[in-house]
Amino acid sequence: MPVPVSMTGFAGTSFATPMGQAAIEIRSVNSRFLDLTLKIADDLRAFEPQIRERISARLARGKVECRLSVQRAAAAESTRLNPAALAGLQRLVDEVRQLLPQAAPLAVADVLAWPGVLETPPLDADALRASVLAALEEVLDRLQESRAREGAAIADGLRSRCDGIAAIVEQLRVRLPELRAAVERKLSERLNQALGAPLASAAALSREEVTERIRQEVTLYGLRADVDEELSRLATHVAEVRRVVDAGGAVGRRLDFLMQELNREANTLGSKATAIDLAQSAIELKLLIEQMREQIQNLE
């Protein structure tokens, strides 16, 4: 099953090249966009555009740092003697001996210092490029595997908190009629005590008319304080979070938007809270949503 991908990960490897032993490392942390930094040895700087292109094609978001270094092989391992140059030098030595028999023989150091005696085979640029890019792909594969493992763990945490939000919403939905009736009953009693007698005496209204007026006010207040719509939207947003998480891939921005919507509904629920149960539930919802939002900041 596809999983969301974390922006946090690390991978590296060492590999042989025609130039010598090389090493490549890629590390990434969360970032709003793809922020790529390359630190490449001067000997391999020519491959920077291709390396940047390969990484950008595989990673969508994150602060990514790629380090590529190379340890050049010892010169003696790749340097060879030039037989033609040695033959030419020997011919000159023979001519000198004919003219100057007393001349001292050449030392090995003198021979090696003679121009053209030592030669270094040309570097195979294509082979070097192939080895670097192959190692880069290997490291990117490992990095993605690392990011996928962390993404799967984050996804499990998001699903768990979705379960928590859904449980709170369901509890409130079941208790909503009871809570609403309790609030309306308490409000009706207080209005009746505070306004019943003054209204009846001042406006010459009957007790039944005053009671009906109070009932209308309580009903209007109850409608304004009703949170059924907020509970429905919370349930809808939670279902969408589950769907996006199960779809996997680069879902960070979409989930971040959903967290804003969930937080908006939780705030509205808290502002309409007319009982301690609703207020406490709104706080618990906001806590779960904030925990999800923090985790989502790490998703690509």
According to DSSP, the residues that pair with 40 across neighbouring strands are: 68
Closest listed residue to residue 300, CA positions, set 33, 63, 7? 7
According to DSSP, the residues that pair with 70 across neighbouring strands are: 22
Confidence of residue 223 (pLDDT cuts 50, 70, 90): very low
Q: Which of 34-48, 108-122, 192-206 has the lowest mean pLDDT?
A: 192-206
Q: DSSP characters for the chain?
A: ---B-BS-EEEEEEEEETTEEEEEEEEEE--SSEEEEEEE-GGGGGGHHHHHHHHHHH--SEEEEEEEEEEEPPHHHH-EE-HHHHHHHHHHHHHHHHH-TTPPPPPHHHHHHSTTSEE-PPP-HHHHHHHHHHHHHHHHHHHHHHHHHHHHHHHHHHHHHHHHHHHHHHHHHHHHHHHHHHHHHHHHHHHHHHHHHHHHHHH---HHHHHHHHHHHHHHHHHHT--HHHHHHHHHHHHHHHHHHHH-BS-HHHHHHHHHHHHHHHHHHHHT--SHHHHHHHHHHHHHHHHHHHHHTTB-
The angle at the Cα of 167, spanning 162 to 168, to the nearest 5 degrees, equals 100
- 93-111, pLDDT tens digit by residue? 888 888 888 878 888 887 7
- 168-187, pLDDT tens digit by residue? 998 888 877 766 666 666 65
Percent of the chain with pLDDT over 70: 77
Between helix 252-271 and helix 228-247 the angle, nearest 10°, is: 160
Across the range 73-84, mean pLDDT stands at 66
Burial string for 165-187 (b: 16+ CB within 10 Å, else e) reads beebbeebeeebeebbeebbeeb
Instruction: Tell me which residue has tokens 């003679």.
Output: 114
Across the range 157-173, mean pLDDT stands at 92
What are the Cα distances from residue 109, in Å, to 105, 113, 117? 12, 6, 11
pLDDT at position 213: 58
- 237-277, pLDDT tens digit by residue? 999 999 999 998 889 999 999 999 999 989 888 776 666 66
pLDDT at position 181: 65
pLDDT at position 212: 57
Whole-number Å distance between alpha carbons of 9 and 149: 9
Q: Which of 88-97, 130-139, 188-197, 213-222 has the lowest mean pLDDT?
A: 213-222
Instruction: Tell me which residue has tokens 């007026």.
Output: 213
pLDDT at position 24: 96
Look at the domain 9-75+124-148 and name its fold.
Ribosomal Protein S5; domain 2 (3.30.230)
* In the predicted structure, residue 222 carries a pLDDT above the cut 60: no
Instruction: Pick 173 or 65 by higher pLDDT.
Output: 65
